[in-house]
Each structure stands twice: as structure tokens, then as C-alpha cells.
Chains A and B, each alone.
Chain A
Amino acid sequence: MTTEAARGAESPPELVQLLTPEGERVEHPDYDIDLTPEDVRSLYRDLVLVRRIDLEAVALQRQGELGIWASLLGQEAAQIGSGRALTDVDMAFPTYREHGVAWCRDVDPVKLLGLFRGVNHGGWDPKEHNFHLYTIVIGSQTLHAVGYAMGIQRDDASAATIAYFGDGATSQGDVNESFIWAGVFNAPIVFFCQNNQWAISEPLEKQSRIPLYRRASGFGFPGIRVDGNDVFACLAVTRKALEAARTGQGPTLIEAYTYRMGAHTTTDDPTRYRVASELEAWKLKDPIERVKAYLYKNEHAGQEFFDAVDAEAAQLGADLRRRCLAMPDPEPLDIFDHVYSESHALMDQERAQFAAYLEGFAK
């Protein structure tokens, strides 16, 4: 039985879209957004730069400088749109693919590489950026985000959290529990699901019988599907959902309908499970090209601007490469650091024993 034939499934839903793949601005009755030409140029710059960071990281992995990399290719608009909707007081809980959101939270891109190079498990201070560490176990961070949102409520603060996850994660118990908790406690949270159509090799129909955004109604809060390749729409929809959260109106589920244009990670081979024509179709909906077309058509930017952004991207890539290679390897005794916040007899004992063992080679 196909999904379409299943009882309860309905016709495909409408996407919230404010910018067509051809770069035409369209209106939506519920989601308006007022962007100056400077705002749009800034979003374009973000999109191009994070794609360049991603490209450089893939290259670094291919050259053996990173153990693995999870590419965001194709998901730039979903991440920049939602990331730029956040204010300083909001807190983001990412998966391991949120390099674009990290960019919006001012996390130095080289710090993202530490995890993938194997020098640490996460090299930034989440409090400094209001951007939590990457979470690798699928869906776990959604519960952390809800708990954090419950803390915001107890602080009587006007802030929100945003939890990122993918289509595959919606099958996880933790994600469903997080929906229940957020609903019951009316937590100030936005669930931002990037439906990139593929959970490694498994297509959406292996995860869900209904469109993902419709899951929200069963948990008692609104769900919205947005064109995940439309940075304007992602910004507008996320901004409104965050504002609802901050003003006591509770959670929202946003399904950003997008496409993972690359492999799941650099170890994956999508040719084994999906056809090339699918990628070609999505290339026509590229999140960056439509913004470029919009800027051109409306004469908000000329070649000089695009060249300058490209030059900045090239510089960023080169800089990232240089600083990745310069990243120091950790020291052997670092293994024992930070396992506990306070002194711990076993850590002290094992550290001393291992130090003595290493010392033996120095003689």
C-alpha cells in the first residue's frame, strides 16, 4: 500500500512560499515580510558563505583532513532563514548538520570542524553563542530544547528555543516525547524540522504516513509547511513562530520542505538508493539561485556585488582550510579532562597511571 492510498492521507499540502524558484516575490496572507534590499543582499551573502564553508569541509574530508563531514548542501535557506529569525536571547539546539545556523549564531566555522577532525567532541561554549553543541544521536536534543524552554518559563523571560531535527528524527521516541512535553507545558519552543526527503537511504514514506507538519495537530499545536529552499519564507514563518513562543502562545512545528542535494555524509553513496533525475529537479529550486535572480531582476544588486561575495567566499574557504590544518592535536592526557566538573578519584588515579606509562617512553 502506498502512502497516497493509505487511509488518513490527504492531498499534498500547500507550501508557504514568498519567493519562487524563479526569483519572483509572491504574497502570502498569513506571512508577510518586509525586507530592504540591504536585508536581501545580507541573506544572499549568508547563503553563499555557508555553502562555501560546506564545500571547503567536504574537500578537507576528501583530502583526509576531516574524518567525516555532514554536508548542508541544498538546505542553506532553511538554516539561514530560521537562523536569522533568532534573536540574541533565543537558544538553538542543532543536529550535526546545522552549519548555517551556527554561522548565524557567530560560531567560528573552524570550531565546527573540531568534531569532524577528531580533536574534540564540540569546541564552542554554547552559552556564549546561545547555540548548543551538535547532537549526533538522532532527536535527543529536542528534549533538551523543551527543558531549556521550561527554564525560560520559570525565569519569566521573553525568549524562545528552537530545536532542529530532520525527517528521520520524527520517528524517534524522544522527538515525540518532546512534542508531548512542549504541548502539556505550553513551552516556548519552535520545532524546526528540515525535511530533506532522505534519512540516509530511507525516503520519507519509511518514516511517516502523513505529511510531517500535520503531526503537530495530534499534539495540540500548530504545524506549518514552508518552502525550505525559500529563505524569505523560512525567515517569516520562523520569526512568527518564535514570537508566538515568546508571548506565551506555546510551540509550533515547522516543516521546512527541502532537499539534501549531497550525500548524507561524506561516507555515503546516494547513487545506491536515489535517481539522478531527482537531484536535477531540485537543482531548479536551488535556494541561492532564486535570491540572486530576485536581486538581479529588481536591480538590488549588480555584478560587482556578486563578485565581491564570491571573493569573500573564496577568502573564507582559504582561511578555513589554513586554520583547520593549523588546529593543534589534543594531548594524550586531555582524555581525562572535563569528564567530571569536580575532582574525581578514579580520573586522578588513571591520569597519573597513564602519565607514568607515557613517561616510560621518554626515558
Chain B
Amino acid sequence: MTIMSLSKALNEGMRKAMEDDSKVLIMGEDVGKLGGVFRVTDGLQKDFGEDRVIDTPLAESGIIGTAIGLALRGYRPVCEIQFDGFVFPAADQIITQLAKMPMRSLGAIKLPVVVRIPCGGGIGAVEHHSESPEAYFTHTAGLRVVACSNPADAYTMIQQAIRSDDPVIFFEPKRRYWEKADIDTASTEWWPPLHKAKVVRPGADATLLAYGPMVKTCLEAATAAEDDGRSLEVIDLRSLNPLDEPVVLESARRTGRVVVVHEAPVNNGFGAELAARVTEQCFYHLESPVLRVGGFSTPYPPSKLEEHYLPDLDRVLDAVDRAFGY
């Protein structure tokens, strides 16, 4: 067992993947000598060389476009997009090329490309550094979209994403990079499959659905709710596409109340998909409509206001209260 921060767990996971497979490459802005602005790739260039840990020109479309070419040549590139708000110059290559090329080739082409995106707010950053763009990518067929919430998942999921023959958008909760946990790096037997959701806290009265940075917030809310005599189940979705629907639906049917929590704006967010799916398939089991907690339908605000914009323990509990009001 080793105590590791989430960012170190990603680093160790990538290191393992690079040791296991010489085709795995790291590429992105400042990923080499600097080790990335969050130090997630720290030390990898020193140990694996500049051919495998590539400091790229400052051009996101170029990062993804050339990663596609490298994948066509048999490589497995892991691309770092420095911040969530900088992924949009690469959106065309991701949505139009990366996601669709395997299907266009009738299966002749596989594109094992991982796109790592530090996401979400809560670190007092300037604009474009705190966004949650997951819904753009969950809406795009051909991509797998996952979000880790804790060090152990970061360690396993990054390795599984790299091993996937499909492109994977990999969201990292940047405000949780420094969270620490004890990780068993000697065994792989405890690893859940990449697309498996996890019940991180069992409960009986309502279900909180979350992923990435909001999992911790929901766990805190569930602890607080105990004082009110409410038993909240918390599910860490881990994978947004594909969604582990059975785990979500089973919980919804059992508790009868579901609250979805994410940082991204509620309007047209991923929570809308969850609400629709739960409603369609658990209609007669529900005691209340599925409620959503998330960011407002505004651009991400200046950081002095982000504590109002981001869902916190109180906003989650407020939604739980409303769910019990039906």
C-alpha cells in the first residue's frame, strides 16, 4: 500500500502503462520538463525520454490531430489538455475525427487515444480554467467519457483508459488533485471495470448521483443528512459514456428519490440525461421527480463568486429536502 495524492496516482498509473507498453506516449503542453502545470506528468520525460513524453507546440487541435496520426501508426497517445476551457480548439479533431474515424473505417481503424482534461472549479482560477465541458463529449458518439473522483480510481482508471482501443475523454477533478489515499499498487484484483459505477455510500432514503469533484461533496452531504435522520445513498458514476445504468436504476427503484449533482450548468447538462433515463425506467417507483443540482445557466463566474455557483453541501441538502417535500 502506498499513500498517494490523486495527481500522483495518475502519474503512477501512466508510468505503469508506459512501462507495460512501449507504444504509450504522453503529449501536451508543458508535460515534459515542467511535468505539467499540475505536475501530473512529473518525471516521466526524464525517465522515458523526449520521444515518449512530448512537449508539443501550443496548439490543441494539433495535439489531438497528431495523436490521431500516431494512433494510426500503432501508438497509444495520452494527450493532456492543460485546462477544461482550452479543449475547444481541439473540439473539431475530437468530435469530427477522433470519435468518428473508427466507424467510418468499418472497424479497420482503432484509435486508442486518451484525452486527459483537468476539469471543474473551486481553485480560485481566472476564467476558462474552471469549466465542466463533459456534456459536449457525452453527446458525441464514438467517445468513451469517464471521470475519476479519488486517488484509487485515478490510478486504475487511467491505466484502463490507456488500454482501451476506443478514444477516451478522461476528466480529472482538478480541485481534488491533492486529496490523498492509500493505494494497493501490487495487485489488480481489486480493480473495478472502467465503466462500472460504484455505490460509495449505501443508503435507503434517497440516491445522490455524482461524478468527479462532486462525489466528495455528496459524501459530505450524506454524512450531514444523517443528523436529520436521512440515509442517503451516494453513487459515483465514474463512467458517463457508457453509463452503468443497472446500478443507477436499481438504486433509484430502491430509494424512490434521486438527486443528480454536477458542477456543469443544469440546463442541458448530463444530469438531464440521467433524470430522463431514471424517469423512463423507474416511473412507478419514484416518490418525487428527479432533481438536479449544478451550475447556473451562465458563463462560469469570477472566482469570488464561484462558491455561489458551485453546488455545495447545503445546495445538495436543499435539493434532498425538496425531494422529500413531494
- New A-B pairs, 17, CB < 8 Å, besides A133-B105, A145-B69: A120-B106, A121-B103, A128-B108, A133-B104, A147-B72, A149-B69, A151-B75, A154-B25, A177-B61, A178-B62, A184-B57, A338-B107, A339-B103, A341-B107, A342-B165, A342-B166, A344-B242
Given contacts A181-B57, A337-B106, contact A147 B67 (CB under 8 A): yes
How far apart are B228's CB and chain A's nearest CB, in angstroms?
Answer: 35
Q: Let me know if B105 and A339 touch, CB within 8 A.
A: no
**Surface stretch bound by B, among A37-45, A136-144, A261-269, A289-297:** A136-144
Within A96-132, which residues are at the interface with B (CB < 8 Å)? 120-128, 132
Cβ of B85 under 8 Å from chain A = no
- Contact A180–B242 (Cβ < 8 Å): no
A137 touches B97 (CB 8 A): yes
Min distance, Cβ A3 to any Cβ of chain B, angstroms: 28
A340–B105 CA distance with the chains assembled, in angstroms: 11
On whether the beta carbons of A151 and B61 are closer than 8 Å, the reply is no
A326 at the A/B interface (Cβ < 8 Å)?
no
Residues B94-123 near A (CB distance < 8 A): 96-97, 100-110
Complex: A64 Cα to B108 Cα, angstroms = 29
Which residue in chain B gives the minimum CB-CB distance to A346?
Answer: B242
List, sorted by A's number, 8 A–B pairs whose CB atoms are closer than 8 Å.
A121-B103, A125-B105, A140-B96, A144-B65, A151-B69, A177-B57, A338-B106, A340-B166
- The smallest beta-carbon distance between A57 and chain B, in angstroms, is 20
Q: Number of contact residues on B: which range applies?
A: 35 or more
Contact B73 A180 (CB under 8 A): no
Q: Which 9 pairs of residues, A with B, have the shortest CB-CB distance?
A: A147-B69, A143-B65, A151-B73, A147-B66, A121-B104, A148-B69, A177-B62, A338-B107, A345-B242
Inter-chain contact A144/B97, CB cutoff 8 Å:
yes
In the assembled complex, the Cα of A349 lies from the Cα of B51 at a distance in Å of 41
The docked-state distance in angstroms from the alpha carbon of A87 to that of B93 is 28
Q: Is B59 an interface residue (CB 8 A)?
A: yes
A146, CB-defined interface residue at 8 Å: yes
- Give Cα distance in the complex from A181 to B180, angstroms: 38
Given B67, B75, B195, which contacts A154 in the complex, CB threshold below 8 Å?
B75
Partner pick for A174 among B93, B105, B165, B243, CB 8 A cutoff: B93
| A123-B102 in contact given A146-B66, A151-B73, A345-B245 (Cβ < 8 Å) | no
Q: Name the interface residues of B67-90: CB closer than 8 Å to any CB of A.
A: 67-75, 89
Residues of chain B within 8 A of A346, CB atoms compared: 241-243
Q: Say yes or no: A143-B66 contact (C-beta < 8 A), given A125-B105, A126-B72, A340-B144.
A: yes
Q: Does any Cβ of A come within 8 Å of B37's Cβ?
A: no
Q: How far is the CA of A341 from the CA of B74 in the complex (A)?
A: 15
**In the complex, are the beta carbons of A174 and B61 less than 8 A apart?**
yes
- The 8 Å CB contact of A338, one of B92, B102, B144, is B102
Within 8 Å CB of B244, what residues of A? 345
Which residues of A pack against B, CB within 8 Å? 120-128, 132-133, 135, 137, 140, 142-155, 161, 173-174, 177-178, 180-181, 184, 337-342, 344-346, 349
Alpha-carbon gap, A152 to B75, bound state (A): 10
Please tell me if B141 contacts chain A, counting CB pairs below 8 Å.
yes
Does the CB pair A146–B65 fall under 8 Å? yes
Which of A128, A153, A154, A346 has the most CB atoms of chain B within a 10 A radius of its CB? Answer: A154
Contacting pair B69 A144 (CB below 8 A): yes
User: In the complex, what residue of chain A is closest to B69 when comparing beta carbons?
Assistant: A147
| A174 and B73 contacting across the interface, CB-CB below 8 Å | no
Chain A's closest residue to B68 (CB) is: A144
By a CB distance below 8 angstroms, the chain A residues around B100 are 121
Contacts of B59 in A (CB 8 A): 177, 180-181
The answer to whether residues A140 and B57 also contact, given A148-B69, A180-B62, A340-B144 and a CB cut-off of 8 A, is no
| B173 interface contact, C-beta 8 A | no
On chain B, the residues within 8 Å of A133 by CB distance are 101, 104-105, 109
A337–B106 Cα gap in the complex (Å)?
A: 8
A151 to B97, CA, bound (A): 18
Is the Cβ of A150 less than 8 Å from the Cβ of B69?
yes
B164: interface (CB < 8 Å)? yes
Contact assessment for A140 and B97 in the assembled complex, using a CB-CB cutoff below 8 Å: yes
Chain A residues whose C-beta falls within 8 Å of the C-beta of B93 in the assembled complex: 140, 143, 174
Cα–Cα, bound, A180→B71 (Å): 20
Residue of A nearest to B56 (CB): A181
Chain B CB within 10 Å, residue with most, of A120, A124, A155, A341: A341
Name the A residues within 8 Å of B75 (CB-CB). 151, 154
Looking at the assembled complex, report how far the CB atom of B193 sits from the nearest CB atom of chain A, in whole angstroms.
Answer: 11
Give the contacts of B259-317 with A (CB-CB under 8 A): none
User: Please, which residues of chain B bring their CB within 8 A of the CB of A142?
Assistant: 65
Q: Which partner residue on chain B sits nearest A330 by CB separation?
A: B106
Least CB distance from B305 to A in Å reads 33
Q: Let me know if B68 and A143 touch, CB within 8 A.
A: yes
Max chain B Cβ within 10 angstroms of own Cβ: one of A120, A122, A147, A184: A147
A2 to chain B, nearest CB (A): 32
Shortest beta-carbon distance from B207 to chain A in Å: 19
For A128, list chain B residues within 8 Å (CB). Answer: 108
Chain B residues in 8 Å Cβ range of A181: 56-57, 59, 62, 66
Cβ contacts under 8 Å, A132 to chain B: 72
Closest Cβ neighbor of A151 among chain B residues? B73
CB distance from A126 to the nearest CB of B (A): 6
Nearest chain B residue, comparing its CB with the CB of A152: B73
Q: B residues within 8 A CB of A144? A: 65-66, 68-69, 72, 97
Complex contacts, B61 vs chain A, CB 8 Å? 143, 173-174, 177
Contact across chains for B105 and A122 when beta carbons are under 8 A apart: yes
- When chains A and B are docked, how far (Å) is the Cα of A346 from the Cα of B240? 11
